Every structure is written in structure tokens, then in C-alpha cells.
């Protein structure tokens, strides 16, 4: 089962940069650590060697997961997105019905979510509640401490 994920150009570049860093910098460091630990004598009682081998295994697992993620990654063309509905890469301006507060969130892939910069995952409760909504709709979103109601004021593209 393929696990296709959609990314912005920036998100894809960040994934590729991280993968290149792991392969070009971290992998040689792990090999060097194993070599140095091996030079310290008896491997059967060498905790440093065991730790270095375990760290290398975890690094290789991380590299293979990133490669799999990249192989299933698809670039989103923001210019082709429909702005009549809240979709991935839509910036949605909301008004909380309870306190009248207005806020804007950009819906992004899970790996690009960053609440500080107003980017929320489409897989988060709020992200799921906003997907497919149109301007004028009310989104009722169930969160751990109850149900929030938001009026959709505006939908724009990033």
C-alpha cells in the first residue's frame, strides 16, 4: 500500500536536504565511530562498539524511511488548487464563534506543520475539520476539551 503524501516545493527540498545530510555527513560519522570502537580491543565486551553499531542501525532505518517518504512524495502545484474550498495549501481565515477571535491557518502536509508560523497539518483535528469547507460555512471541530465552532471568513492560496 503506497502512502502518498503531498508537499510544497519547500517541504520537498527540506526532506531532500535532510536525507543528503544523513547520507553524506552522519553515515560517515557512524562508520568512523564503529572503527574507533573496534580499535579498542575485544568486541565481546566493548559497550562502545555495541552502542556505535546500534546508532548506525537507527541511522540506516531513518535513511530508509526518508527514502520511502520521498519516493511517495508528490509536489503540490498551488496554482492549480481550487480556492472555493479549504484544501491542502489553502490559507483559511476563521472566526471563533465563542470568543469572536479571528485567526488564519495554512493547511499543510503533516511533516510541514509548524503552529508558530500558522501552518497546521491536514491530519490534525482542526485541519480535518476545515478540509472541504467553503467561505460562509461553519466548521464544528471536536477537540479534546469539547467542540469548537468556526465561521469560515476567507480562503486563499499560499
Answer with the residue of higher pLDDT: 151 or 9: 151
Model confidence over 102-157: pLDDT tens digits?
A: 999 988 887 788 889 889 988 888 888 898 888 899 999 888 888 889 999 998 87
Cα pseudo-dihedral 63, 69, 74, 77, rounded to 10: -70
Specify the pTM.
0.59
Architecture of domain 78-157: Roll (3.10)
Give the pLDDT band (50/70/90) at residue 57.
Answer: very high
Architecture of domain 5-75: Orthogonal Bundle (1.10)
> For the chain, where do the domains classified as CATH 3.10.50.30 start and end?
78-157
At 79 the pLDDT is 63
Conformation bin of residue 100: beta by default, left when phi > 0, alpha when psi is -120 to 50: left
3-state secondary structure of 91: strand
Model confidence over 34-48: pLDDT tens digits?
A: 888 888 877 777 788
> For the chain, where do the domains classified as CATH 1.10.287.180 start and end?
5-75
Amino acid at each position: 500500500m503506497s502512502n502518498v503524501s503531498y508537499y510544497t516545493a519547500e517541504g520537498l527540498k527540506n526532506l531532500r536536504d535532510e536525507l543528503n545530510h544523513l547520507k553524506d555527513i552522519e553515515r560517515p560519522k557512524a562508520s568512523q565511530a564503529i572503527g574507533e570502537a573496534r580499535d579498542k580491543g575485544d568486541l565481546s565486551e566493548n559497550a562502545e562498539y555495541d552502542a556505535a553499531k546500534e546508532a548506525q542501525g537507527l541511522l540506516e532505518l531513518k535513511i530508509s524511511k526518508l527514502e520511502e517518504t520521498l519516493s511517495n512524495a508528490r509536489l503540490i502545484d498551488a496554482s492549480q488548487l481550487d480556492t472555493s474550498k479549504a484544501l491542502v495549501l489553502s490559507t483559511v481565515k476563521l472566526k471563533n464563534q465563542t470568543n469572536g477571535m479571528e485567526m488564519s491557518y495554512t493547511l499543510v502536509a503533516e511533516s510541514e506543520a509548524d503552529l508558530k508560523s500558522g501552518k497546521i497539518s491536514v491530519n490534525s483535528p482542526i485541519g480535518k475539520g476545515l478540509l472541504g469547507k467553503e467561505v460562509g460555512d461553519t466548521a464544528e471541530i471536536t477537540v479534546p476539551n469539547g467542540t469548537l465552532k468556526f465561521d469560515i471568513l476567507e480562503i486563499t492560496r499560499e
